[in-house]
């Protein structure tokens, strides 16, 4: 069933009247709800949308990201989320919507305590900072590119094996928390960096030692998470970044840049490995080909 077209400002008035008459909220609380909801209404209007629907999860998340980018603190964003969840819950209660899209945003620790997210230009400076004339620099350049291209956890990055990288098909196979497997697309930049590393860097690092790992340190062993963190901090300083940059910063930047570009929330969650797609029905319609197309279309370096 397609959701009806519901004009938001009229619905906000209806919701505030419900809070006043049936819930008996104070004038100060009503004014707070009104400010937050009208700010959301202005946001969706600027995104060429004047109505609410059951498909608003991505729009809601983009709004919260925009609030963060505007410098709004975590507590203020939490207050906005409370107002939005109450509003959409009211619409379902009144049978104006069959499904509540705000339920997908019930992630306060993840959503409201993000580390510093890098801008696209900051990411570009960081990815260009390794010295590509040395084997270690070539390796590090490829590692940074893959970390951002696929939104990996640092533990997933250092454990990546050669057999899990499919350059022709444009994806990597990742084993995340609980050994759960997922397929993540990588773009042209990452494929080229990996290929260059395999041809000009890895052999000089692994030497006579056999190793199944893609990114190697001494004697063919995988790089440790601590060693990568240290090198990442050095590259962030070299790139002139003043933000506290961690591997998770790049993972959050990956997700934020995709969502800000218009990617579907559920597809991004799959790429991040936040959901088990083999058992979660809501995600089963998203195919690997669709994920690859979304990544190519929306990722800044796809």
Strand 165-166 to 171-175 pairing:
antiparallel
d(Cα 191, Cα 210) in Å, to the nearest integer?
23
Q: Which of 23, 35, 166, 248 is catalytic?
A: 248
The reply to whether 290 belongs to the active site is: no
d(Cα 302, Cα 295) in Å, to the nearest integer?
6
The reply to whether 295 belongs to the active site is: no
Q: Which of 18, 238, 283, 290 is catalytic?
A: 283
d(Cα 158, Cα 227) in Å, to the nearest integer?
10
185 close to 301: Cβ distance less than 8 angstroms: no
Q: Which of 177, 218, 243, 297 is catalytic?
A: 177
255 close to 273: Cβ distance less than 8 angstroms: no
Count the neighbouring beta carbons within 10 Å of the beta carbon of residue 208: 6
Helices (H), 213-264: 225-238, 247-260
The reply to whether 283 belongs to the active site is: yes
What tokens does 230 get? 């240290």
The reply to whether 177 belongs to the active site is: yes
Q: Which of 14, 79, 274, 290 is catalytic?
A: 274
Q: Which of 182, 251, 257, 266 is catalytic?
A: 251
The reply to whether 301 belongs to the active site is: no
77 close to 67: Cβ distance less than 8 angstroms: yes
Q: Which of 77, 153, 252, 292 is catalytic?
A: 153
The reply to whether 248 belongs to the active site is: yes
Catalytic residues: 153, 177, 248, 251, 274, 283
């Amino acid at each position: 069933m397609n959701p009806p077209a519901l004009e938001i400002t009229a619905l906000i008035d209806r919701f505030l009247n419900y809070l006043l008459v049936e819930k008996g909220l104070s004038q100060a609380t009503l004014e707070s709800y009104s400010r937050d909801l009208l700010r959301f209404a202005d946001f969706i209007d600027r995104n060429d949308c004047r109505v609410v629907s059951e498909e608003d999860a991505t729009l809601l998340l983009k709004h919260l990201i925009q609030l963060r980018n505007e410098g709004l603190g975590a507590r203020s964003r939490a207050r906005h989320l409370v107002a939005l969840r109450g509003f959409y819950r009211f619409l379902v209660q009144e049978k104006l919507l069959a499904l509540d899209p705000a339920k997908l945003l019930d992630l306060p620790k993840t959503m409201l305590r993000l580390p510093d997210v890098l801008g696209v230009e900051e990411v570009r400076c960081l990815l260009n900072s390794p010295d590509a004339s040395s084997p270690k620099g070539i390796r590090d350049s490829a590692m940074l590119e893959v970390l951002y291209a696929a939104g990996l956890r640092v533990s997933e990055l250092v454990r990546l094996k050669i057999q899990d990288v499919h350059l022709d098909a444009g994806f990597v196979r990742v084993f995340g928390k609980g050994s759960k497997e997922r397929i993540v697309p990588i773009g042209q930049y990452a494929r080229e960096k990996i290929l260059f590393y395999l041809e000009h860097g890895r052999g000089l690092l692994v030497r006579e030692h056999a190793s199944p790992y893609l990114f190697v340190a001494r004697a063919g062993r995988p790089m440790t998470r601590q060693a990568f963190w240290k090198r990442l901090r050095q590259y962030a300083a070299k790139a002139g970044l003043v933000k506290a940059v961690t591997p998770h910063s790049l993972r959050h930047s990956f997700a934020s840049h995709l969502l800000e570009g218009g990617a579907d929330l559920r597809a991004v969650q799959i790429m991040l490995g936040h959901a088990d797609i083999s058992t979660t029905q809501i995600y089963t319609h998203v195919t690997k080909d669709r994920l690859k197309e979304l990544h190519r279309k929306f990722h800044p370096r796809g």
